[in-house]
């Protein structure tokens, strides 16, 4: 049990480290992480809970542009709500991998965050910083030298509201 929990922790650290650009020797696949979760009752239960009803949040940046993203992880949904209520004041900026195609909930933009990769940060490396319009205008360059690994962390991002359906 202890070995499985250690492996799960390492998997989470490796994925986060990769998202923020730290060197990682090996990153387990989703299948590996799923196997670890399936063998650990506590983690298996948590992975089933993570398939919550989606919540949609609108953010802005220094340009005033608005961008909508989807969260499905209950812990991240709760974190976003704490940001909006003013309870969370440190990890308030959005980070995640972008997908270079439109999403129906994010009109006006040709890209969106992959909901499974979104998290929140206080400080991030410069290579993933870009405004919403700059990212749109340079989308053909994204995931290469611009926003390596498709990781986007707009430093001036600020949650504005939760969208209710």
Given pLDDT bands bounded at 50, 70 and 90, which one contains residue 50?
low
pTM score: 0.70
The structural domains of the chain, with segments of one domain joined by +, span: 2-49, 55-163
- Work out the percent of the chain whose per-residue pLDDT is above 70: 68
Say how many CA atoms lie within 13 Å of 118 toward its Cβ.
28
What pLDDT, in 10s, does the model give residues 79-124? 999 999 999 999 999 999 999 999 999 999 999 999 999 999 998 8
- Work out the percent of the chain whose per-residue pLDDT is above 90: 65
Element containing residue 59 per DSSP (H, E): strand 55-60
CA-wise closest residue to 94 among 130, 136, 54:
130
What are the start-end ranges of the E strands in 75-154? Answer: 93-99, 112-113, 119-121, 142-143, 146-148, 151-152
Structural contact between residues 55 and 71, judged by C-beta atoms closer than 8 angstroms = yes
Q: From the centroid of its chain, how far is CA 86?
A: 20
What pLDDT, in 10s, does the model give residues 53-89? 999 999 999 999 999 999 999 999 999 999 999 999 9
On average, the pLDDT of the chain sits at: 79
């Amino acid at each position: 049990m202890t070995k499985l929990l250690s492996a799960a922790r390492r998997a989470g650290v490796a994925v986060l480290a990769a998202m923020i650009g730290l060197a990682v020797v090996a990153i387990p696949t989703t299948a590996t992480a799923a196997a670890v979760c399936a063998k650990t009752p506590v983690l298996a239960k948590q992975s089933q809970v993570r398939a919550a009803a989606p919540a949609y949040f609108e953010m802005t940046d220094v340009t005033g542009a608005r961008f909508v993203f989807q969260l499905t992880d209950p812990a991240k949904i709760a974190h976003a709500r704490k940001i909006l209520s003013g309870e969370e004041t440190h990890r308030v900026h959005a980070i995640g991998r972008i997908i270079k195609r439109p999403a129906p909930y994010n009109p006006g933009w040709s890209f969106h965050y992959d909901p499974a990769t979104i998290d929140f940060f206080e400080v991030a490396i410069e290579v993933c910083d870009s405004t919403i319009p700059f990212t749109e205008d340079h989308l053909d360059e994204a995931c290469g030298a611009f926003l390596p690994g498709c990781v986007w962390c707009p430093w001036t991002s600020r949650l504005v509201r939760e969208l209710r359906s």
